[in-house]
């Protein structure tokens, strides 16, 4: 998979950057710099194409996921991160997901698939339109969720569903609300305060 790896400080946590639809592996680098310039950075480009735009998994339409593909792609991306952790000598428990939109959604998928592994995420404009049967224990998971009022892609009821997905499993959830489907400077600073508290 197309990716970048920037090592800032040996042994520091690693941001795994997951872009939105149509993005690339470098889109969220400025955000990572703002959140914590000492963290190492692994930016990964989605390898699914939708009308020439990069994504992490297939869908049948807005908010209509190809669940089989999402399951497969979540495992594939996880294996890729494992491979990079060996190559660059970092621990999986030091990973902090930073995702926007489609990137946030694949991050949620990996957290559900690997509940023992990933403990921290800053997810902007997430959407995960499914009722999860498994009752994973997220009591040692910390997540920052940036959600949109009047988001044309994610209805507020779906934002609440994402909040509950984490909260009902015991995660430490911090929420922030923006207007629309966006990642603003203001909410990025809130995420920074959350991360470095």
Please state, rounded to an integer, the average pLDDT across all residues of the chain. Answer: 97
Predicted pLDDT of residue 62: 86
Q: Is the pLDDT of residue 8 over 90?
A: yes
pLDDT for 9 equals 93
Confidence of residue 132 (pLDDT cuts 50, 70, 90): confident
pLDDT number for residue 134:
85
Residue 39 is classified by DSSP as: S
Contacts of 136 (CB under 8 A, 6+ apart): 112, 115, 169
- How many percent of the chain have pLDDT more than 70? 100
pLDDT in tens, 153-163: 999 999 999 99
d(CA 15, CA 193): 16
Q: Which of 15, 174, 165 is nearest to 100 (CA)?
A: 15
- What pLDDT score was predicted for residue 101? 98
Please report the pLDDT score of residue 61 as a whole number. Answer: 87
What is the rounded average pLDDT of the residues 118-146?
95
Cα-only R_g, the chain: 15
Average pLDDT rounded to a whole number, residues 14-38 = 98
Q: Which helix (H) or strand (E) holds 6?
A: strand 3-6
| pLDDT (mean) for 18-47 | 98
Domains in the chain, please, with CATH? 3-195 (3.40.50.1820)
Strands in 56-181 per DSSP E: 59-61, 64-65, 95-100, 120-124, 142-149, 172-179
User: With 90 as the cut, is the pLDDT of residue 96 above it?
Assistant: yes
52 by DSSP, 3-state: which? Answer: coil
Active site residues: 101, 151, 181
What pLDDT is recorded for position 168?
Answer: 95
**Which position has the token pair 């190492």?**
40
Residue 131: pLDDT band by 50, 70, 90 thresholds?
Answer: confident
pLDDT at 186 over 90: yes
Beta-carbon contacts of residue 112 (< 8 Å; ≥ 6 apart)? 132, 134, 136
Q: Which helix (H) or strand (E) holds 43?
A: strand 40-44
pLDDT of residue 43: 98
Helix segments in 2-59, DSSP class H: 29-35
What is the model's pLDDT at position 7?
96
d(CA 152, CA 95): 30
pLDDT class for 171, splitting at 50, 70, 90? very high
Element (H, E) at 185: helix 185-195
């Amino acid at each position: 998979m197309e990716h970048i790896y920037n090592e800032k400080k040996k042994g520091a946590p690693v941001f795994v950057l997951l872009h939105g639809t149509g993005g690339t592996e470098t889109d969220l680098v400025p955000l990572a710099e703002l959140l914590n310039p000492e963290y190492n950075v692994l930016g990964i480009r989605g390898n699914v194409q939708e009308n020439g735009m990069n994504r992490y998994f297939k869908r049948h339409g807005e908010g209509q996921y190809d669940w089989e593909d999402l399951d497969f792609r979540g495992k594939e991306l996880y294996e890729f991160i494992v491979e990079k952790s060996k190559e660059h000598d970092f621990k999986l428990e030091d990973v902090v997901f930073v995702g926007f939109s489609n990137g946030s959604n694949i991050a949620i998928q990996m957290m559900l698939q690997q509940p023992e592994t990933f403990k921290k995420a800053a997810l902007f404009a997430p959407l995960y339109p499914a009722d999860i049967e498994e009752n994973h224990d997220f009591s040692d998971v910390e997540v920052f969720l940036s959600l949109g009022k009047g988001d044309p892609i994610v209805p507020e009821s779906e934002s609440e569903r994402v909040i509950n997905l984490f909260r009902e499993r015991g995660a430490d959830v911090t929420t922030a609300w923006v207007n629309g489907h966006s990642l603003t400077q203001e909410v990025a600073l809130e995420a920074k305060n959350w991360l470095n508290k």
